[in-house]
Each structure stands twice: as C-alpha cells, then as structure tokens.
Structure 1
C-alpha cells in the first residue's frame, strides 16, 4: 500500500489484479478559470526557476532468492558491484578512495552466502549514488515465487515481503529520503524515493497495477506503475514490468501483447492543480512528459544457438579473474571456458590500442554481432512493440540473464543451457519523442492514402511512368534498417522537451550499466542514471503572480460584463404604513405586519450600471419542504413597468426576461397578499413563514439575491370549529403565537360565526328599511334580479380588488373581535356593507377545515337519503329536519352552527319576501336566476303566487350557495360529473328543508 502522501491508487478487483479500470472521473473546469490558467501560464517565467535533479532507475529480477535484499543497498544506492572492464555507458574506472584493494572474483565467489551481501568488499562504487541522486526508482521482479499457483492466484498481497525490501532501502539511503510511491502486484514491486530537497516539489502521486498473466489478468505477469508531478510542471511515469517468458514465436507475441495491455489498461487519478481543478480525466501512459519503462521484459536473442553464444561470451568473462584464466576450466567444453587458448597472438606493449568497436576481439564487437538478433530491437523496428518513441541507452554490457547463482560470469551451466539474453532492460521516452512518432505516423498514413487514390485513378499500371513518384508499401517501406547491419549506438545527447504544461525541460542519460559483481540471483541487476533539468514552480512567487493575474482579469471581466444595481424600498409596513426603518440593518424588503386579504406593495429599481446591455430575469428561488417551486412564492405578485423581451429574442429558456441598456432603469412593484387558504393554514400553524429570497439572474453576470420578510398576523380563517370555540373574547390576535388547543371551550358556536350572522341580519334589516323609507323603485332592488342576493354577486363585483380595503378591514375586525362598523368607511352604504359581510361569511365557512357538516356527518345524512330514495319514502319537512339534527347532534358545536346559519338564512329570505311590494304581475318573467352558480329551477314547480314564487327562488339560491361551503364530502371533486350533480342535488335539497317557512305555507 502506498503511504498516505503518495496519492490515491486506482483500486482494481482484488481477485483479478490489473482489471480494466473504471471510467475516469470527469474534470470540472469553467471558462473563467481556464482564462486565469492561460494568463497565469503566460507569466510563467516570473514564478518558475530551473532546477536539476538526478534520477536513478534500477531493475532486478531477484528470482525469489532469499537474502537478495541485502545486496540492494550496495549496487542500487551505493553504485557498487560493477565490473568496469565489462561495464556500460558512462563507466570509466572505479573510485579509489579505499586503501584496501577490491576483493577478487575468486574470493568473492568463495565468500558468497545467503546471510550476507555478495557485493565485493572494498568496493567504493563506480556510478552516482547516495546524495548524488535525488530520485531513486527501483523495480523488482519475482520477490515471491511466481511459478507457485498459490502465489499467482492469491487474492491479496502479503506486505511482509515488500517490507523486507523497504527496510533494506531505508537502511541504505541517506537520512531524509522518503518513500513517495509504492505499488506491488504479486512478485512485482515498485518503490520510488525522493531526497529532502526534491520531496516538497513532488505532487499528484498516483499508482496502479495491471495483471497480464494467467487468463490475461493474473498478477504473475504484468506491471506496476507510478505517476507523479514534480515542480508543478513535469509529469514523470515509472513502469516496472515482467513480461511473458519463453524463447519461441508464441512467447514473443505474448510479450508484445503484454506490453500493449499495460499501455491500454493503465489509468492514473486526475491531477488537481493549485486552483482545485482536475486538469486531466484519468491520465494514461502517453500523457506524461518523461516515462521510464524497466524490468524483466524477457526478450531473447532470436535464432541463436545457446552453446555458441555462451562460448563466445565466456571469452570475455574469463578475463574477470587472471587466476581463472590461467587454470584449466573445470567445466565442459560446451561452456566455452576453454575456447581462449595460448595460441592467440600477443599484443605488443608498444602497439596502438584499437577502439573497442574496431577491435575484433573486444567485448563491444561481440555485443555488436549479437544485438541484431535481439528481439526487443527487432520488434521496435518492425513497429510491433516499444516503437512509439521509446529509446534505450547503448548496450555495452554483457547479457543480464542467465547466470549461475553465486558466480560472477558463469552462464547457465544447468541441463537447460539457456542462451544468454538481455532480458532486463531500461527504456525511456520523452514527450517530444512520442510527438515525433505520431507526426511520422500521420505522414505515413497520408502517403498510404495518396497511394490508394492514385491506384484508384488507374495510375498503378503506369509503373514506368516518370510522373508516378512513389508507390507506398507499408510492409516494405520505412526507415527499417537491415538487422545484420547493426550500428552501435552513439552516446546519448542532451534532449530538449516541451512539457504538457508548456515548460522547457532537458534530459540526458548519463549511465546505463549492469552490476556483474552481484551474485545472489540468476539475473544481474542493471540501472540507469538520468540528469533532468526542469522548470520548477516557486509557490510564493506563483501565489503573488496568481493574485495579480486574478485581479487584472477580474477588472477586465467586470468592465466587459453586464452589471446591475438594485435599489429597494426601505420602508417597513407596520400598523401605520410608510414609516422609514432607519434603525434596521435588514438588507432587503420588510413588509411588516401582514394580515389576510390585505395587500402591501414595495418598489424596487433595477439600474444598468455597466457598459453593456444587461439581460435579466427572476429564476427559481431556493425552497425547502412543501413550498411550491418557482421564481416567486404564491403570495407575491411582481409587476414590471415595461414589457418583457419578445420570445424570439429571449436568451434564457423563459419568455419573461428583460433587457436594460446602459444607464437605463426599470421599476418593479412587489405586491404581497395572502388570500390562499392553504397558505393561511400553514402560516397559522407556523409550518411556513413569509421569509423569502428572490434570485435575480443577469446573463453573463452575477446573481443578485433579494431577501424579503413579513410578520404574519394570526387569522381565524382555515381553522376547525372545535378550535374556534376555544378562542376567548378578544379574538384570535389575542393568542398570537400561542396554542389554541391549550384554551378551554368558550362558546357553543364559534364567536366569529355568531358575530357575522348577527351583523348580517342587523345590516339586512337596516338595508331593507332604508330601501323602503327612501322609496326606491322596487324593480331596481337587487333581490328582484338576483334571488341569491346578498350571497350571490356578479363575477365582476370584486374585480381589480375594488373592495379589497373594506374586506381586509372586516377580516381584521373579525380576528380582533372589534365592531364591524368601525371597519367601514362612512360613505359605504348599508346595502354594500351587507354584501361585504356576506362575502366574508362565505369565505369563513369555506375556510373551516372540517366544515359545518363534517365528512362523517354527511356520509350518514346521504346514506339515509339514498335509502329513502330507493324506497320512494318521503318525509314531511318537520320529520326530515328532526332526522338531520339527530345526526348533527353528535357534535353540539357543529349542530348549533348549522342551526344558526339556517335560521339566519330563513330570516333574511322572509324579510326580502315581505318587502317585495308592490308585487310584479308576472313574477316568473321578472325574476331572473343568477348566472353563477347556475340554479336549474323547473318553471312549473314555481307557485303562481308572486311572493311564494320569490321565496322559492330565494330558498333554492341560498341552498345552492351554502351547500358549497357548509358540507364537506370526501372525494367530491373526483366524482364523475353526473355523480357530482346528484350529490350536490342532495345537499341543496337538505338545505332547503331548513329554509322553508312552514308557518307561511311556503
């Protein structure tokens, strides 16, 4: 497991190491942040400074041998164990700091044990190590026995084995070096360490693994990989792999397949930059600036007899020990140790030494003759693997595999006599090399297409035509050299690279060699040292530049983006409106005290204070609970003093948007009025309030938030009869913010209902008396044209809130238990007062939560009516009233309320009938039914006596109007139209029973 600061690792299925990773997480960027990044990058020279680091990459297949960890500090950290006469790039001569001579090969082999390092004694090291190296990247293979099925199929990795290697590295490294990346997959282990000087610059570490072994997914083969960003500018990737073994064609194809799988299935975590943005969506191999691929790649020498190769190479290994060279070899002739004889011509001391590549007896000449058969280089040239920009340092050392354990230069002497091969390799690739390869591939593809086009045009037959300049053959063409004409690679040159972030880096391969004097495995370890010069971000300087860039962009953006200013009405609505609230710090609209049915308006001015047109609209506000969505709450009406933009010009997905030109203003009225019963109920119960925040959105600008508040005054509406009978004298306002349920029962009927019915009867008497005394024309009396008056009114009676102030005052008097007379202005006539009181009564009855006749009561009443209908039984009015009251008596307050209402209606109907003189000659023709609600009265059922006919019409209209507000019927609105009409007819009939005046014979 990686350390906590090593970044997160792609978690794969534990039972199948290296399964395909999940979809990359999406990056979140917005245009303003991208602009900031671009502007910041343009000034990168101000906050970056060049830094130099040395990276040491090491690879070793330890063959699951015990004690191999004891050698790791010597060869990898100390740079020891080299045989300079057989060493590779950059190795000249050993250091000579020790006074004692270095241990000989013979002594070293004789001393070899599993319980001590096998590095030769008195070896001072020949390549950089210790503090000379800033980053150590170590790749190990076969730290466990991968040939064991139990190990290969193990669903987890035992950390004990990796801990041995980490402990050995910790002991060997100088103080202050820390592990920054770790990943293990069965026998593969990748460890990356950083020096104290480099550690603070390493970020965005991500590790992962890909298994390509058994069934293509098991971890006995595959790769472990680490990605990191150094200096916030340069991406590094380290890949430690173990590819498929074997020397036949199938094994070769499998190695190529393994490499392809590792590339396609490796995914790293997105890189989060200093602004918190994901710069990449799950980076892959190829997105880095510098990649290092190392490990046991297992590529062999193709078509070479193993005995001949061993014999040829043993000529050079005999030179490792002068005593061994003089003694007869104890091995078989096939081993090749006896192939160097005394018959070779001696070289004169005065002779000029030949360069290694020209000396036919030199090691380099031998290597040069073998490398054309190296499968890895063959596959690179044929474009089958590692061909897309991967580079390897010049090979100037003996093959790394396979040696007898405990021997310096004895190749496989077992029965298998394996052919020596460069199985262990270190490759590297720069971003520049990959881009060059991709560009070359584009050119080849373009050439192929041109060739196909020419053939399609019939030019393929004109092979001798001078106009045909080329004929592209992807199998034969290209810059593939003849393998037999292998040219030894020159020393690597410094390579300049432009990183993915646009910074300039340089890299140079300084050393590439194998450690022949390490004896504890059948593979020789090898390493490479790279010098990297990169631009590193200085955090303090970047923070300063970032601040300056952000400020400049903000200023530029503000000058070019729309900007509006809101100026709101700061008056506070209390009992006395238009009082300036100078002491309040509320930055919004305060409506003050809010009562039912009374509207309050506030104004707001929207001014375009920017330099460009501003397009704005109100958008859905943040809501919680059961509040309805939308830009405005249901109790608020917003009116602009201009028309909205035409729909075809709307930029938002909404037609109600407005455009202000620079310096233009728009006035907005925000009118608050609570008249929806559901809202009243919620406000009374405290489940909602009048605190809201409106959101005004400016296109390409910032949102403006407008808070508003109001203080709800308790209303007697939207309550139950039971609760209303508990309200003490003084009204509901007396119990503001108190629980009504805590009060004892005060009244037999709600006091509000009693006061309304009493006031209506009293005001009706005054209206009729005034009409009678003033001698108004009887034909113009409202009850002569509207038999439902004063409870039925023309639909336009309350249009444009013409009576809003008077109605609001009546509701307020009702809630405060005050005289209704005080609610009316002096100029309001008694007839109009009756109409307004009648409207308040209907609204009050409609708002009762349980109704005067509850759902349960109505079910019982309707069941009785249905039974009588089926049996065709008819009760006289007196008997039917007794039957109804008996059911209602189960709840005395409801029963009393019903009787109070029907008695009032009966009294008003009687008074209107009595004053209707002189009587018209044709009552049927002169008495029109109201338009709403439509009361269908069959003309033949009306009496021929005018006053009786009038009373019948009044009773039917009153019964129709009050049936809607008195009765509660479950699911009434969901009934079919016919069923609704039937049920409504029963309600009206029941009401008529109580309105008929039995004493008058009507």
Structure 2
C-alpha cells in the first residue's frame, strides 16, 4: 500500500521513489571488474534466447461504484463486453492469427467456447485473454471516493479495498498467475500479474507513486508506477495516472502540469545492468525500453458543445440499450455484459467518420502537437471506438443525462513509448536547439538583414517549426500499427506491436467504459545456466590471455578432503573448478586449502578485492561466513585490515603461500536466508595481482536444511524424520500440520526433564566426594552456566552435532561420548534448547501477542489494579490461545521448567546429618545477587529464586519485540518491559500453577 507524497520537496530523499530529482541531475555509477564484465557482455548472444509475450494493459475509472470488481473477469481477463461494430483496433479483423498478429472475433469466440459465453458470438466481441496473455497490467482509478476525506484516508489504514480487487482478479485469472507488482495511491490502484511461464523471468520490480493533487503533491490526483525487467534484458514501465478534471483552460493546463510532474518525479530503485555495473542513482522515466502510460487522463473535446456531441453520437447509440433492463431495474454490478442488437441499417463507416471528426478536437492530440504534454515519443493506437466518458450507469450507450450533461470525451487512454521513439525525440530537440543557437549567432553578427541570395539564415521558430501535419486532423484511415524494432538499453533488438486497442461498451457498472490494449513483445531473455557457463569460460580465457612477462601467479586448489579432521570427511565434486566445501551444516566449520605460487619471472603482489555482489548482499572480498587465513605476514606497507580484507602479500619468483578457507554458518540471519533459499553458498572470490591479471576463484557449498531460524507455524508442519527429509523439496514446500508443538521442542524438553531426574539421582547416590551439587550454588542451573563454560569454542562441535541430530530427528545419546555424565549431557542440551528458542523467527510469544500482553499489564500498573494469580493466568491464556501452536509451546516450556524446579527444590532440602552449605545466585542484570546460607533459605523462597532465574533466562529467549522499539526506548522503559516479560513467565512457574 502506498501513500501520497506529502511534505515539501526538501523533505523528500532524491534517491527514493516518488521524490523530486536533484537540481543538477547528476548521477554516479560504480563499476566492478569491467574486463570480465565486458568480455561476458560481448558474448551475450550465446546465453540469451528469444521469447515472445503478450501484454494486456487495461484501464478503468470505476467512479467508486460498489461491486464493479464483479465485471473484471469478463472484460479484462476474458476480453468480453465489446460492441463489435464499435470495437476498435484489431477486434473486427478477419485475417487468421499468426505470431504477433490479430485475430477475428469469430475465431476468438470459437477458442473461448469452452467457457460458455453468456452472449452469442455474433453480438459479443472479444480480445485475447486468459492463458494467452503473459502479463496482465490493470490500472484502476477512483477505487475509493476521492472527493470524500474519510474515503481518501481509507487506503492508509484499511487494505480491504485493494485486497478485494486483488482477490477478484486472482480468481478470474487462470491457474498459476502471480502478482508481481502492486501500488496504491488513494483512489489509484496498479496490479501487474505474470503467467507461470513469464514470472520466473521478471526481476528488479520497483513501484512508486507521485501525488499531484492538492498543493501539488497530495494523492487525490497523480500516478502509481511499476518498473520490471524481463529476462535481465528488457525494462518495462507501467504508469497508471489520474490527471486533473475539468473542461476549462485552467484544468487543461493543470493536466499538462500533472503529466510533467509525474514524468520528472517518478523514481525507481537502482538495478545492475547486464555488464554487472551497479548504479546508485535512482532510475527515472525515459530510461526504460518500453513504457505504457494509461488511465483517466481527463483530456476533453475542445470547443465542442456537449449537447451537439451527444446528439451526434446518439445517432449511433440510440438503439443499443433496447434489449437491456432499465438502469433503475438493473444492478450496476450484476454481470453487465448483456446482449443488445445494433440498428440493422447502421453503417460502421459513418461511426468511424463521426469519431474522426470529433478526435480532431481532442485536447490530448492538440497538446501533443503543441509540445506541451506527451510529445516526447508517446504514441497511441488508432481510436476506432466511441468516447469512454460519460455514460449513465447501467446503460451501454446513453450519455450523461444528469443535470451537468457533460460532453462525451475520450478521457481514458492508453499510450505507449519505445526507447527508439524517445531517442528520436531527444535527437530532434537537440537539433532544434543547435539550429536556434546558430540562428542567434548569425543574428549577433548582424546578418539578420542579409539578402536571401547572400546568406542562409538558420531561422528557428518553435511555434511554427516541427511536424506541420501531425495531429492537425485525425486520420480515420490511418494504417494499423506495424511491428517496431527497438534496440534496448542492454543492446538487444526487441520488437513490439500493438495488436488491439478497444473499449468495452457492454460494461455498465461505471460512468466510464473500461478500455484495454494488447501488445505483442518479442525480446531476448538471459538463460542463467548458460550465462554461468559462459562466465566461467570467459574467466578462464582471460587467464590464458595474460602476458607472461607480467607478474603471474598460479592458484592451486587442494583436492584432498582432509580426513584427519572430522569436519572434512565428506566427499566433494572433483570436477568443480574451484573450492567445494561439500555439505554444510549449522555451526560446523569446513576447511579447505589453496596454494598461491609465483610462476612468473618477477615479484608478484596480490590481494583479494571486493567481489561483485547484488545490491542487497554484503560487500567486501569475502562473504560473512568465510574466514581466510594466510601462512605469511602481509606486506609492511599494507594498512591494518580486519580479517585480512584488502591486505597485500608479495611473493618472489618460485615462492608459495598457503591459504586456509574456513566456512562456518553460525549467524541466524544467514541460516534463515539459506533455509529460505534467498541466498546461497555460491560465490566467486577475486584475486587481483598488481600490474597483472585477476584470478577468479569459485567457491560453493551445499546447505543442509536446519530447523533453526524458522517459525512455529512451519516447525509444526515438519514431518517425522526431521527437516532434512524435505531437503530436495521445492523452496518453502511444507504442507499440513503434523504436531501441536514443534517436534524438536518436544524432544528437547523431554530429554532435559529425563536428564534432570538422572542427574539428581546420580548426585544423591554418589555425592561426588563432598562436592557441591551444581544447583546449590547456581539457582539458574542447568540453563545458566559460568561464562567460561563455552569459552574458546569449547563444546562447539558437540553443540553442532546435537543440532544436526535435531534436524535429522535422530537420538541425542549417540552424539555424546559414552563416558559423558548425565549432568554434562543435561547442561549441553539445555544450551541447545536456548539456542533453538533464540533462533525462532517469531519466538514462542510473538510480537503481536506480546503487544497485547504488554498493553494489558501497563494499563493495570497505571491504574494500580491487581488481579489474583489465577485470574492473571487466565487472562494471559486468553491472549495466547489466539495462536494455538504458540500457546501449546509456551505451556510445554513452562511445564518443563516447573517440573525441573520441583525436582531441584526437593533435592535441595537439607540433610540433617550433613553440614549446611551455601547457595550462590547467578549474576544477571535483572536478578539481585546475594549469597545466602541454604539453611536460612526456606523452601518457598528457594522456589521463588529458581523461578525468578528461569523466567529471566527464558523471557529473553521466548519473547519477540520490534527492533525499532528497542532502539527508541530508554533504558528505564526497557527494564520495565523486561520485568513484565519475566512476570508473565513466573506466573506459570508458581507452584500453584
């Protein structure tokens, strides 16, 4: 959902969509490794393949009428609702269809006969629709009442309007179509859908909005725009706009101003071009290959009395509504595609003549000719249909009978522009400016009075020069559009053809008639697999072409698997021309070695430089999960660099340097991205030799799915056998709920409870030679441990193996050494449980659940109202039960903690026959630490101390709050919030719970 642009121009970031551009229009670009990129670009023909797609662009001002969405499937998707004799470009052609050509109405109906059309084909026009369209682009205006302040604010707080339209369009489209882009600005709504064969090729989607209404930037007028890239080669832009209304001169000038503002202020997020160059300057209109501007442009018929136009058009529409119910008897949204018979003596040629005579007064054509709007390369298909505005709702062809009796006009339009036409316009403007400059120079030299035979004067008059016959009269016999070849920004030769341009007269639910246009686009698309193969070939070829006299090194990858190390026992692909880490698990280090040898005749200095990455990836020589260690010191002239980044090393001829590459995934952001396959372990390191050539070292690993960093809603769907059972499924393919709580959570809590009992029994039986039991000096045991417990990576491999057993649904016992004590196993598994809880995307208590709990607790604190513990618990459960799986998981954890606390309290009862010992409470910011003698700590107080420690530890692990809130809150507020979380957990640990 997009909001209108508000505030002054100075408040808008010039690099963000919808912002005002910088005054100097400057831009900056960052280029990386142009040698490789240019070589790859030169072979682009080898990794691209031609594709064909049909694009249907539809526009409709629904005038905030209720129920209009019910018509969308009929006219926009199925292509119905056309009065054939008034159909427009392409619909009535009788030629058989071929690739990129038009098709007759009869043939269209024959192909759609399986959909049981409700109106006979001889009276019911159609344009291509359903699965034969690759991209559906729908622009709606006035989806809310823009004249009502209440309605105009609805999109900011209530997404139901947009959701209703999206649901209706999705239901009407064939199976498999996906919503690729959406943008709303008050009454404007833009939706872009792609077919199953097209959407994998859609990249770099960016949407924005520009408000041009009140005060010049409010959203009651303006545009919503989307930019997509097809096949990594072809930029497409779709602009859905609603310009200023009104029939006077001021309104006309305001429309032109609106269009200019939209063109200048529209900004899209930067993208990387085919050569790998990343641009940090936002893209604007005019940088695309194909643009489509549509909507209620509101241009009227200039100098035409409304009554005269109505009378003239009524000659052709008088009998169109005879077969329809009266408007008062028909619901505006009740399936408006009703049959009607045209007058038998109606002459279509006379309709075209009437349309042509009126279009010569069309303001849009006049403004284009005058160079005031849409003159910079924009074009429109031949208009062979009646005006789209203004009709009585519920009628096919009855024009405005209200008191205002507005003049019919072609307010709704679909324009398009190619990169070629934009460049032609820019060249023309440049030539005219050069002519003007030469003219002024001649006049400055006093040559303006020279005789015609003596001098040639470059006389430029912007009011008189130009295309003198353009737009003077609308040509009713204008030829149909021909395929246009366009050289794209990436250097490819594309072809576009406007096949259809028509309005749907039989849609009755608005005072505007919807219209659409179908474009046939042939373009070249990158095949990623071929591009990757060519990329490697180019890299190797560049290696071979380097001059032997320049510094030269050789990079040798150690193919041994390192069987001496338990972490390197897996098999790798020896045919891979790079470093293959094999299977990668969470927190398990994988090491590989490479050797760099100076095989040249002169000293060689090398370094790893920043690798080419996508805009959303971390920059630097190495990905964050890779550590690189050299067996020699860097050059002394090298500035200190963190993790050897950009450190330089020099080798004399025949010298070698050994480098260890260590891969380790232990950051939860990386785990989540790898689980969701939004990132991968495929990278290319760039080794740069000073005054030499670059070496490119591919590295890869195969991520083994983990149950960490997932949500409870996904965890409860993991089948028996663990997440690895789904290793080869499609991304996100998890269906059906299998458990009431995550199986991983159940296994951990069950094992921890069992080991607690075994540990307590072991201490009771052996006494451990008079040593203090761990719970006697640590009230948070087994979940709180000394900071040295995991120092220097202690137990790191064991923890990783236990998480692997959790992911594979395997027993925990075989992971431990046979001699491991129950206490050790318990303490390690307790740490695994806490890591598992901290990794959850939404936590046990989600952000939304906590906000409700926090609000209630804060309210009672403010009013000093206290509930009885049982009432407090019931109130908490009422909130938690709105998320059943989270509630069950919360109760499972608190039940485990309660049982463990019961066992420890029972085991802590003093033995009268033994000396009394002391109890140490663990230190934490939330717990006051005091040393007390165990004999002086009553059983109830001891239980409260344990509960407090457990609640402190698990509140941090189980609850989720918004990071932005944490950043804005003061320390006192954070402390209060933390205390509330602890209170919630303590409530369920109380002995009476």
TM-score by length of 2: 0.51
8 Å Cα contact 1:83-1:515 kept in structure 2 = yes
Listed one character per residue, the Cα deviations across residues 531-550 of structure 1 (whole Å, up to 9, x for unaligned) are 00001111211111111112
Partner of residue 400, structure 2: 412
Question: How far did 1:466 drift?
Answer: 5.0
CA distance in 2, matches of 1:696, 1:83: 67
Partner of residue 369, structure 1: 357
Partner of residue 480, structure 2: 491
Partner of residue 718, structure 1: none
490, 505, 511: which one aligns with 2:494: 505
Listed one character per residue, the Cα deviations across residues 826-872 of structure 1 (whole Å, up to 9, x for unaligned) are xxxxxxxxxxxxxxxxxxxxxxxxxxxxxxxxxxxxxxxxxxxxxxx
Listed one character per residue, the Cα deviations across residues 329-371 of structure 1 (whole Å, up to 9, x for unaligned) are xxxxxxxxxxxxxxx9x98xxxxx99x6xx5xx1111111111
Compared CA separation, residues 607 and 118, structure 1 to 2 (3 A): closer
Partner of residue 209, structure 1: 209
Partner of residue 549, structure 1: 538
Compared CA separation, residues 366 and 559, structure 1 to 2 (3 A): farther
User: What SS is found at the alignment partner of 1:156?
Assistant: helix
Gaps of 5+ in 2: 18-26, 93-103, 325-342, 556-595, 610-619, 621-632, 638-647, 657-686, 696-993
Compared CA separation, residues 472 and 484, structure 1 to 2 (3 A): closer
8 Å Cα contact 1:157-1:184 kept in structure 2 = no
CA distance in 1, matches of 2:635, 2:125: 85
Partner of residue 159, structure 1: 159
Compared CA separation, residues 663 and 398, structure 1 to 2 (3 A): same
Query: Which residues in structure 2 correspond to 1:24-103 (within 5 Å)?
Result: 29-32=30-33, 34-92=34-92, 94-95=105-106
8 Å Cα contact 1:120-1:517 kept in structure 2 = no
Give yes or no for the alignment of 1:395 onto 2:406: no
Compared CA separation, residues 27 and 470, structure 1 to 2 (3 A): closer
8 Å Cα contact 1:96-1:124 kept in structure 2 = no
Question: How far did 1:134 drift?
Answer: 0.8
Partner of residue 906, structure 2: none
8 Å Cα contact 1:270-1:278 kept in structure 2 = yes
User: What SS is found at the alignment partner of 1:258?
Assistant: helix
Question: How far did 1:125 drift?
Answer: 5.0
CA distance in 2, matches of 1:98, 1:478: 45
Partner of residue 450, structure 1: 438
8 Å Cα contact 1:210-1:224 kept in structure 2 = yes
Partner of residue 830, structure 1: none
519, 523, 546: which one aligns with 1:530: 519
Question: How far did 1:517 drift?
Answer: 0.5
Question: How far did 1:24 drift?
Answer: 6.0
Query: Which residues in structure 2 correspond to 1:168-567 (within 5 Å)?
Result: 168-272=168-272, 278-279=278-279, 281-320=281-320, 362-462=350-450, 464-468=452-456, 470-481=458-469, 484-488=472-476, 489-557=478-546, 559=548, 562-563=551-552
Compared CA separation, residues 269 and 318, structure 1 to 2 (3 A): same
Compared CA separation, residues 658 and 162, structure 1 to 2 (3 A): closer
User: What SS is found at the alignment partner of 2:136?
Assistant: strand
User: What SS is found at the alignment partner of 1:490?
Assistant: coil
Compared CA separation, residues 534 and 276, structure 1 to 2 (3 A): closer
Compared CA separation, residues 163 and 37, structure 1 to 2 (3 A): same
Question: How far did 1:273 drift?
Answer: 5.9
CA distance in 2, matches of 1:96, 1:565: 66
Question: How far did 1:15 drift?
Answer: 7.7
User: What SS is found at the alignment partner of 2:460?
Assistant: coil
Compared CA separation, residues 118 and 156, structure 1 to 2 (3 A): farther
Q: Which has the larger radius of gyration?
A: 1
Question: How far did 1:37 drift?
Answer: 2.2
CA distance in 2, matches of 1:24, 1:552: 40
CA distance in 2, matches of 1:427, 1:225: 14
Question: How far did 1:478 drift?
Answer: 1.4
Question: How far did 1:270 drift?
Answer: 1.4
Listed one character per residue, the Cα deviations across residues 94-119 of structure 1 (whole Å, up to 9, x for unaligned) are 438889x99xxxxxxxxxxxxxx998
Question: How far did 1:132 drift?
Answer: 1.2
Compared CA separation, residues 474 and 54, structure 1 to 2 (3 A): same
8 Å Cα contact 1:209-1:223 kept in structure 2 = yes
CA distance in 1, matches of 2:691, 2:228: 40
Listed one character per residue, the Cα deviations across residues 566-598 of structure 1 (whole Å, up to 9, x for unaligned) are 9xxxxxxxxxxxxxxxxxxxxxxxxxxxxxxxx
Compared CA separation, residues 53 and 608, structure 1 to 2 (3 A): closer
8 Å Cα contact 1:188-1:242 kept in structure 2 = yes
8 Å Cα contact 1:562-1:698 kept in structure 2 = yes
CA distance in 1, matches of 2:607, 2:322: 94
User: What SS is found at the alignment partner of 1:425?
Assistant: strand
8 Å Cα contact 1:146-1:220 kept in structure 2 = yes
15, 18, 36: which one aligns with 1:23: 15
Compared CA separation, residues 137 and 98, structure 1 to 2 (3 A): closer
8 Å Cα contact 1:27-1:281 kept in structure 2 = yes
Question: How far did 1:442 drift?
Answer: 1.0
Compared CA separation, residues 96 and 16, structure 1 to 2 (3 A): farther
Partner of residue 137, structure 1: 137
Question: How far did 1:480 drift?
Answer: 3.3
CA distance in 2, matches of 1:21, 1:617: 37
Compared CA separation, residues 529 and 17, structure 1 to 2 (3 A): farther
CA distance in 1, matches of 2:449, 2:119: 70
Listed one character per residue, the Cα deviations across residues 111-142 of structure 1 (whole Å, up to 9, x for unaligned) are xxxxxx99868776521010111110000000
Compared CA separation, residues 613 and 663, structure 1 to 2 (3 A): closer
Compared CA separation, residues 466 and 535, structure 1 to 2 (3 A): same
Compared CA separation, residues 36 and 401, structure 1 to 2 (3 A): same
8 Å Cα contact 2:87-2:125 kept in structure 1 = no
Query: Which residues in structure 2 correspond to 1:777-856 (within 5 Å)?
Result: none
User: What SS is found at the alignment partner of 1:295?
Assistant: strand
User: What SS is found at the alignment partner of 2:225?
Assistant: strand
Question: How far did 1:19 drift?
Answer: 7.9
8 Å Cα contact 1:82-1:516 kept in structure 2 = yes
Question: How far did 1:303 drift?
Answer: 1.1
8 Å Cα contact 2:78-2:129 kept in structure 1 = yes
Listed one character per residue, the Cα deviations across residues 872-898 of structure 1 (whole Å, up to 9, x for unaligned) are xxxxxxxxxxxxxxxxxxxxxxxxxxx
Query: Which residues in structure 2 correspond to 1:925-944 (within 5 Å)?
Result: none
8 Å Cα contact 1:24-1:282 kept in structure 2 = yes
Question: How far did 1:323 drift?
Answer: 7.7
Compared CA separation, residues 225 and 507, structure 1 to 2 (3 A): same
TM-score by length of 1: 0.50
CA distance in 2, matches of 1:638, 1:209: 52
CA distance in 1, matches of 2:221, 2:490: 34
Question: How far did 1:278 drift?
Answer: 2.3
User: What SS is found at the alignment partner of 1:405?
Assistant: coil
Compared CA separation, residues 495 and 97, structure 1 to 2 (3 A): closer
Compared CA separation, residues 517 and 561, structure 1 to 2 (3 A): farther
Compared CA separation, residues 663 and 414, structure 1 to 2 (3 A): same
CA distance in 2, matches of 1:134, 1:696: 44
Compared CA separation, residues 247 and 124, structure 1 to 2 (3 A): closer
